[in-house]
Chains A and B, each alone.
Chain A
Amino acid sequence: AQSVAQPEDQVNVAEGNPLTVKCTYSVSGNPYLFWYVQYPNRGLQFLLKYITGDNLVKGSYGFEAEFNKSQTSFHLKKPSALVSDSALYFCAVRAHLTGGQNFVFGPGTRLSVLP
């Protein structure tokens, strides 16, 4: 069965500092990995994904994530946080199987960037 863990409910970081939001996963076969961001009373916005290829994936708004197969992790990072990055972040995994499977979402991590 697929599962996603986001070990931190809340991450606080000062504006201008680097940020990391952690994600680990469990899936049979090769994973498709995704990060989404949700602002209050909004749907989820797609940030980036890893399907295959380079382990470092660059996405929207200056975010990037690194796929680490040995650690089954896909941590989200940004070199310099902005107050406007404050939001709820979801990691998701989908198994790369014939016929496909639905996404499994992590519980979410609330990021607060302090001015």
Chain B
Amino acid sequence: GAVVSQHPSRVICKSGTSVKIECRSLDFQATTMFWYRQFPKKSLMLMATSNEGSKATYEQGVEKDKFLINHASLTLSTLTVTSAHPEDSSFYICSARADRGLYQETQYFGPGTRLLVL
């Protein structure tokens, strides 16, 4: 099946620093990538949708200047949490979707990144 990787799996940083999370589709080209945030024992909250080569579309209430998303290629998207604060601590999950081919229509998820801001 389709594989999506995320790196790092876990990161601890000091308040005020920036953290970059990478999301890669390993065996298919992801036309669209999604970034979610998940709070403990809660469902996924969609933060933004990105299409390769264009600006991300952010959901209402998500600060685009704080959560920078870049979708530079069909296999890589990055989420940068700028000037992180403790309230940004969360589990961040990416997913990827192809619009054609064997893996079309289905979102495939990365393993998630646990961010802890001290």
Contact = CB atoms under 8 A, between A and B. Distances in A.
Contact of B44 (A32, A45, A105): A105
A29 to B, nearest CB: 14
A34 B111 contact: no
Contact of B105 (A51, A102, A105): A51
A90 B44 contact: yes
A43 B6 contact: yes
Contact of B109 (A32, A44, A100, A107): A44
B49 interface: yes
Interface residues of B, number: 23
A32 B44 CA distance: 18
B107 A107 contact: no
A43 B106 contact: no
A57 to B, nearest CB: 12
Interface in A89-109: 90, 92, 94, 100, 102-103, 105-108
A107 B44 CA distance: 8
A79 B99 CA distance: 33
Contact of B106 (A49, A102, A105, A106): A49
B37 to A, nearest CB: 12
Contacts of A43: 4, 6, 93, 95, 109-112
Contacts of A94: 105
Contacts of B2: 46
Interface residues on A, range: 20 to 34
Given A102-B34, A107-B43, A34 B106 contact: yes
Nearest to A94: B105
B93 A106 contact: no
A43 B111 CA distance: 4
Contacts of B99: 100
Contacts of A106: 43
A108 B43 contact: yes
15 contacts: A32-B105, A43-B6, A43-B111, A43-B112, A44-B44, A45-B109, A46-B2, A46-B107, A49-B105, A51-B105, A90-B44, A94-B105, A102-B34, A102-B46, A105-B44
A-B CB proximity, top 3 nearest: A43-B109, A44-B109, A43-B111
